Amino acid sequence: MTTTDHELAAQLAVSAGRVLLALRDEIADVPAAELKDRGDAASHEHLLAELGRLRPDDPVLSEEGADDPARLAADRVWIVDPLDGTREFSERDEDGAWRTDWAVHVALWERGAGLTAGAVALPGRDEVFSTAEPATRPATPSGPLRLAVSRSRPPALIGELAQLTDVELVPMGSAGVKAMSVLTGQCDAYVHGGGQYEWDSAAPVAVASAAGLFCSRLDGSELEYNRENPWLPDLVVCETHRAADLLDLITRATSTGDASPAPAKENAAP
């Protein structure tokens, strides 16, 4: 039986997560920097090997690999972040348990259609969200807007939003974990500005969109993938009915200026 792209995205995100958990068990005592580097590399190698075996004609855009110029002419490109929330993967909480707010992202982009399949695995929680089985966001009680926000580098924009409306900030690591927190109802929105790359948001946006959530740039424009420069610095994920009000709020917050200039590319083409 052939595996669909939806199923493959989910299987690969889960199997890369297993590689990461096994590696961390094996080398738990190494310094955090080494754990991060070896985690990034092991998951990347696993994903590249499996995609090479199972989808040999499709180029891959990975945070951890040299950019493959062939992707710009390809009709199908896998966009993967082998370990999103790398910092959190290497850290323990105050009780000494490993943090669980890190993810594996696997997405498929197709020419003319955009993101068509994807999966976000949260291996530390034994969870996977994918386009194979789109989830439905549960109804949540009304109250302050619960915003998922970076725990290590919250964008200036978030402080400006908090001046304009009643918000509850919910800090956590990983773009995938934050986007999935909107899907599970833990948060009402994920708003990010100031920097990110296509691999940080591709799979979360594929999964969130398939589940009926609204996803766009901060100015409400479409998120575009497989661009020559993978810098994609901002993002909104929320329920559809909140989108107009939230984008209006973001416009008012950013009118005071939260410019996010593109840095030099970190994984420039060879």
Ligand X SMILES: Nc1ncnc2c1ncn2[C@@H]1O[C@H](COP(=O)(O)O)[C@@H](OP(=O)(O)O)[C@H]1O
What are the residues binding Mg ion (CB under 5 A)? 81, 84, 200
Binding flag, residue 174, ligand X (CB under 6 A): yes
- Could you tell which of ligand X, Mg ion, none binds residue 123, using a CB distance below 5 to 8 A set by kind? none
- Provide the minimum distance between the beta carbon of 195 and ligand X in the complex, in angstroms, as a whole number: 2
The reply to whether 173 sits near ligand X by the rule CB under 6 A is yes
In the complex, the smallest distance separating the C-beta of residue 249 from ligand X, rounded to whole angstroms, is: 20
Distance between CA atoms of residues 63 and 78, nearest Å: 11
Is residue 123 close enough to count as binding ligand X by CB under 6 A? no
Residues sharing a CB contact under 8 Å with residue 138, sequence separation 6 or more, in sequence order: 184, 185
Closest approach of ligand X to the CB of residue 105, in Å: 8
Q: How far is the CB of 127 from ligand X (least distance, A)?
A: 17
185-204 footprint of ligand X as x/- string (CB under 6 A): ---------xxx---x----
Nearer to ligand X, 86 or 131 (CB): 86
Q: What is the rounded end-to-end Cα distance, in angstroms, of the chain?
A: 38
User: In terms of CB distance, is 179 or 246 closer to Mg ion?
Assistant: 179
CB burial of 217-243 (b: ≥16 within 10 Å; e: otherwise) equals: bbeeeebebbeeebbbbbbbbbbeebb
Does position 261 interact with ligand X (CB under 6 A)? The reply is no
136 contact partners, CB below 8 Å, separation of at least 6: 211, 212
Smaller CB distance to ligand X: residue 110 or 217? Answer: 217
Whole-number Cα distances in Å, 50 to 9, 44, 56, 152: 11, 10, 9, 32
Q: Which is nearer to ligand X, 7 or 162 (CB)?
A: 162
What three-state secondary structure class fits 184? coil
| Distance from the Cα of residue 52 to its chain's centroid | 22
User: What gap in Å lies between CA 124 and CA 102, rounded to an integer?
Assistant: 7
Determine, following the binding rule CB under 6 A, whether residue 258 of this chain makes contact with ligand X: no
Question: Which one of 86, 90, 131, 209 is in contact with ligand X (CB under 6 A)?
Answer: 86
Please say which residue, 91 or 110, places its beta carbon nearer to ligand X: 91
Residue with CB nearest ligand X? 195
User: Residues in contact with ligand X, total (CB under 6 A)?
Assistant: 15
Contact between 53 and ligand X by CB under 6 A: the answer reads: no
Rounded to whole angstroms, how far apart are CA atoms 64 and 95? Answer: 31
Q: What residues from 127 to 156 belong to the interface with ligand X (CB under 6 A)?
A: 150, 152-153
- Phi and psi at residue 255, to the nearest 5°: -65, -20
Nearer to ligand X among residue 172 and residue 246 (C-beta): 172
- The dihedral region occupied by 112, where left means phi > 0, alpha psi between -120 and 50, and beta the remainder, is left
| 181 part of the interface to ligand X, by CB under 6 A | no
Residues in touch with ligand X (CB under 6 A): 63, 81, 84-86, 150, 152-153, 173-175, 194-196, 200
